[in-house]
Structure 1
Amino acid sequence: FASCLTLTSLRLPNTLRTIGDGAFYRCTSLQNVTIPESVTSIGDWAFQGCAGIKSIVIPSSVKTIGDGAFARATGLESVSIACSVTSIGGWAFARASSLTSISIPASVQSVGDYAFKGC
């Protein structure tokens, strides 16, 4: 679905385990994303450049957020990360320039370089 400019809403199946690298890269019209409890990892650059997303809830099944996963998601204002997440990749939320609220749980053991650069 990378660069699918007409995609506005995304509800992933509850059988999905991984959101792959670049899966929704530059889907600039994407606004609503529901990540199911079955997902354990969000790949590198999975939602990079998805400027229409305003908020995201990372469910309790997710353990890793990949490099640049939400980089340049310029409309992203709030992120809720479940206490299952142990790793936030480098550049994960870089240049998410509208980000005003994020909760990082104590379970997070590593935050990559420049994870929040330009926020």
Structure 2
Amino acid sequence: ATLTKLDKAAFDGCSSLTEITLPKKLKTLGEAVFEGCTALEAINVAEGNASFASADGVLFNKAKTNLLAFPAGKTGAYAVPSGTEEIAASAFSRCVGLSAITLPETLTTIGDEVFYRCTGLTELTLPNSVTSIG
């Protein structure tokens, strides 16, 4: 069998999971797939996957224009790469160790509950390019 879809909250509460590699044939990712994965430090993508990409353990669509999921176990500051146009719903949800986020001037859309319960977040500046939040 080949895994092509991960449904909503597929890994919900897997608090010991530290790293995951999404398979080559995966095409569809449900909402909040990694919700409650508090130790997760890297979301990797198998080489040859046509739908997704990973940069520094952060999950993006293949074109790297949509940030889909940030691992909740990563700590410190993070700069969203230039070229990112959208941050998907709940992408940074419950990332309590995240202290600062730098957003690029290419960003236009921030989804629902993107920074939900980011209790350690002390610095965030919205660029003028953002036209939609939530």
TM-score, length of structure 1 as denominator length: 0.65
Name the CA distance, whole Å, in 2 between partners of 1:97 and 1:85: 23
Map of 1:40 onto structure 2: 65
Map of 1:27 onto structure 2: 37
Map of 1:102 onto structure 2: 124
Gaps spanning 5+ residues in structure 1: where? 11-19, 113-119
Name the CA distance, whole Å, in 2 between partners of 1:105 and 1:82: 7
Work out the percentage of aligned pairs sharing the same amino acid: 28
Higher relative contact order, structure no. (Cα contacts within 8 Å, ≥ 6 residues apart): 1
8 Å CA contact retained: 1:77, 1:99: yes
Structure 1 residue 77: Cα displacement: 0.7
Name the CA distance, whole Å, in 1 between partners of 2:37 and 2:77: 15
TM-score, length of structure 2 as denominator length: 0.59
Point out the more displaced range, 27-36 or 102-111: 27-36
Larger Rg: 2
**CA offsets 1:14-60 (integer angstroms, 9 cap, x no match):** xxxxxx55465443224477258x511022xx237x14432221111
**CA offsets 1:56-110 (integer angstroms, 9 cap, x no match):** 2111111100111101111111001111010011110011011101121110001
Gaps spanning 5+ residues in structure 2: where? 1-9, 21-28, 43-54
